[in-house]
Amino acid sequence: MARCAPCIRRVISPQLVWLLLFGCRMNLRVRENPWRLMLAVNVAVLIGVFLYKITREPYVPYIHLLVDYHFGFTKRALIGAVVSLFFSKVPVWLVFALSGGVWLVTLGLFVQLFRRTFGLDDAHMPLFVFMAGSPFFLKNFMHTLGHFDIYGCALAICLLLVPARSVAFVISAAIASMILILIHHIHFLMYVPTIAVIVVLRYYLVQGFARRNAIVGIAAALCVGLLFLAAQFWGTMAVPEAEFVRYLQSRMADPTRTSLLSFSYIWYQPLSREIQDTWERMPSNILGIPVFALLIWLHAPLWKYFVSLIRSLTEQLHRRIVIAAIVVVSLAYFVMFAMVFDYSRWISNWAVCMFLILHAVKTLPASQAVPLVSTDDRKTTIFGWIVTLIPRVGIV
């Protein structure tokens, strides 16, 4: 036995003892606070969604990297124009590399935003799980890699992080909105209204509606609106579709994969046709509404906190403006529902907009502290686990 002692001491080293104690401590923390385990499960789910996504053909995302301003002003062409500065031939893997990089940047921005607004301690962990772990948010952005929704979210988060002390903030928001419209004109309904809400809550409710501020705001809104009209009605291709497709094929790293150009028609499709397609799909799309309602209901603890946050605002005017802002953003999505049939994307981005508006509301003066989402409530914990385990909402 004495001869075995040195061997035992070598096996049971101080490092191993430390690891065992640390593991016991972490296990105890998980039992006491399951919300951190939910974060770990969310990471695993995200990895699974990513592995699934990279096996799929990126039809729509890839063609958007090929389209630039070769034939003049064109809608949905800004990202492709930027890509053309660096790649004469666009490989398919660039879809996942570029969109994956943007996803990681968005994740980092949101973590920084949440840390600054709330903090990342255990008390705020349920709020973080219901937002960051929501199937509406980062997990769905992972599923929609290559689509341009995430750019609107990222720029909106940037506007929540930067200082809002001068009229330069309004101008920056207008420039961000115009960039989004050049990326994809659907942003005019998807994220530009939320950006406008952020500007009102962070700048105008603090600095006031002085004459100069109002003039800059009106001018910015007019510029954004005019650019949207130009993209919507004058951004259609002026050349025959066959010529357009030949040009796109010349930019492909592998021109034989012609199936990736099957969505070229969307640069020729008029708005009336998009609306017609949407209403033809309406019977099947309506069947998804109960599912969307269920997913929204699963976030009930978060919505209750949001309502309490609005009620706690010191100024009644602030409360009315916040409610009006939520209605306006929701109406923009209602219009989108009537025009384009990607319902799963729209409902997901609507929820993300609500998350971002919640952060903006938190910066307004409050008359009382708002109770946080409970870490011990059994029903809330069950909802948290369900939200965690749902991998995504989808695209259509």
Q: Give the model's pLDDT for residue 195.
A: 98
Average confidence (pLDDT) over 299-326: 97
| Model confidence at 6: pLDDT above 50 | no
Residues found in the chain: 396
pLDDT band at residue 14, thresholds of 50, 70 and 90? very low
C-alpha 109/C-alpha 155 separation (Å) is 10
Residue 206 CB neighbour total at 10 angstroms:
12
State mean pLDDT over 277-299: 92
The reported pLDDT for the residue numbered 5 is 44
Read off the pLDDT of each residue in 379-395 and give the average, rounded to a whole number. Answer: 95
Better-predicted residue by pLDDT, 181 or 13: 181
pLDDT band at 381 (very low <50, low <70, confident <90, very high): very high
pLDDT at residue number 1: 43
> Is the separation of the CB atoms in 146 and 54 below 8 Å?
no
Contact 159, 195 (CB under 8 A): yes
- What would the mean pLDDT of 153-182 be, rounded to a whole number? 97
- Cα–Cα dist 111/36, whole Å: 15
How far is Cα 62 from Cα 50, in angstroms, rounded to an integer?
Answer: 17
Instruction: With a cut of 90, say whether residue 123 has pLDDT above it.
Output: yes
Residue 284: what pLDDT?
84
Q: How far apart are CA 277 and CA 262, in angstroms?
A: 17
Tokens 């789910």 sit on residue:
45
Residues 6+ away with beta carbon under 8 Å from 232: 75, 185, 271
Band the pLDDT of 286: cuts 50, 70, 90: confident
End-to-end CA distance of the chain: 69
The pTM for the full model equals 0.90
pLDDT in tens, 24-57: 444 445 556 799 999 999 999 999 999 999 999 9
- Residue 180: pLDDT band with limits 50, 70, 90: very high
For residues 79 and 187, the answer to whether their CB atoms sit within 8 Å is: no
Mean pLDDT value across the chain: 91
- Mean pLDDT within 376-391: 96
